[in-house]
């Protein structure tokens, strides 16, 4: 699979504070890349570096295998559409007038503009002033403005921020439609659940570092759930598992964050100590739990 965006050691410091730290991103062509991390993790700064809006302190950005620098920037950015932070449209103009501005600026044919507007399903609202649009409609217009140039990659920074559940759902469907049309979409969020259903690849950022990059299944397989031990001798089981951090938890024993080999060691220890165990369970975890563990520094 070819990658559309690659970064090597991409780093941004402000003064002596490093806010994006040595990122090696790989965004496969054709995927929806969910770029997730808590507030302040460095998502917007990274996306701005990908778009040459912020200058990296160190490292490089490659788009379709070519290094982005002063001489290639214009051409490479021609294949990237973006929506960063606030919607870009003029509020005192109508949707149609905003689209016309983009059309003139980029010298695009009518067909492209119509297609972009239909993709975001705004064709029936074009005559309204943007001031009267809902936030969701403003976001969709912003995406239409980015789409008009028919980019291969769309970079969307928190497009669902501030939207109600219906707006979030509409945004999800829109991202899926874009991906079905063959556009690679990189979308950021501070909520994993928000991108979970649309993203095919996840990049998880915390404190400026890339904590995980891969598929959802890979993320789950590397997570370390708590193990719960059902026993008629909870005190003895807790004592036997103490080296692994086992504690009493409402009549069962909870051992935090065990991978497969560690779980096997704990079971062997309980057998050795002849503790009466009638059940060993790995706690079901949501993707959000896994994300929380990661970003709180418990690691995978």
Residue selected from 43, 125, 138, 149 as contacting ligand ATP according to rule CB under 6 A: 43
Residue selected from 2, 39, 107, 279 as contacting ligand ATP according to rule CB under 6 A: 39
Q: Does 246 bind ligand ATP (CB under 6 A)?
A: no
Which lies closer to Mg ion via its Cβ, residue 157 or residue 293? Answer: 157
> By CB under 6 A, what part of segment 6-25 binds ligand ATP?
14, 19
Contact 37, 206 (CB under 8 A): yes
For residue 162, the partner it binds in ligand ATP, Mg ion, none, with Cβ less than 5 to 8 A by kind, is: none
Beta strands in 136-215 (DSSP E): 153-156, 184-189, 201-206, 209-214
Q: Does 44 bind Mg ion (CB under 5 A)?
A: yes
Which lies closer to ligand ATP via its Cβ, residue 41 or residue 171? Answer: 41
Query: Taking Cα atoms as reference points, which of 192, 205, 203, 200 lies closest to residue 217?
Result: 200
Tokens describing residue 135: 């936030």
> By CB under 6 A, what part of segment 182-201 binds ligand ATP?
190
Neighbouring residues of 5: CB distance < 8 A, sequence distance ≥ 6: 25, 26, 27, 50, 61, 62, 63, 153, 186
Binding mask 140-179 for ligand ATP (x = CB under 6 A): ----------------------------------------
Residue with tokens 């938890």: 249
Tokens describing residue 40: 């302040």
Q: Which residues bind ligand ATP (CB under 6 A)?
A: 14, 19, 37, 39-45, 190
């Amino acid at each position: 699979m070819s990658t559309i965006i690659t970064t090597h050691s991409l780093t941004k410091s402000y003064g002596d504070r490093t806010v994006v730290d040595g990122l090696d991103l790989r965004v496969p062509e054709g995927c929806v890349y969910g770029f997730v991390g808590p507030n302040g993790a460095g998502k917007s700064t990274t996306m701005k570096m990908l778009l040459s809006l912020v200058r990296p302190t160190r490292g490089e950005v490659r788009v379709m295998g070519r290094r982005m620098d002063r001489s290639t920037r214009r051409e490479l950015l021609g294949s990237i559409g973006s929506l960063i932070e606030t919607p870009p449209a003029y509020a005192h103009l109508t949707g149609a007038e905003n689209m016309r501005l983009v059309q003139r600026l980029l010298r695009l044919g009518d067909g492209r503009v119509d297609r972009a507007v239909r993709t975001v399903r705004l064709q029936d609202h074009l005559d309204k002033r943007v001031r009267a649009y809902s936030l969701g409609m403003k976001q969709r217009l912003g995406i239409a403005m980015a789409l008009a140039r028919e980019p291969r990659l769309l970079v969307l920074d928190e497009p669902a921020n501030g939207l109600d559940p219906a707006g979030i759902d509409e945004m999800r469907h829109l991202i899926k439609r874009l991906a079905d049309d063959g556009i690679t979409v990189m979308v950021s969020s501070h909520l994993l659940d928000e991108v979970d259903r649309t993203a095919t690849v996840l990049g998880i950022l915390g404190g400026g570092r890339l904590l995980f990059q891969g598929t959802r299944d890979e993320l789950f397989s590397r997570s370390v759930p708590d193990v719960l031990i059902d026993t008629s001798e909870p005190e003895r089981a807790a004592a036997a598992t103490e080296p692994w951090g086992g504690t009493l938890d409402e009549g069962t024993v909870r051992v935090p964050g065990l991978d497969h080999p560690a779980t096997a060691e704990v079971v062997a220890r309980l057998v050795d100590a002849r503790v009466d165990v009638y059940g060993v369970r790995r706690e079901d975890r949501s993707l959000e739990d896994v994300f929380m563990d990661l970003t709180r520094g418990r690691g995978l």
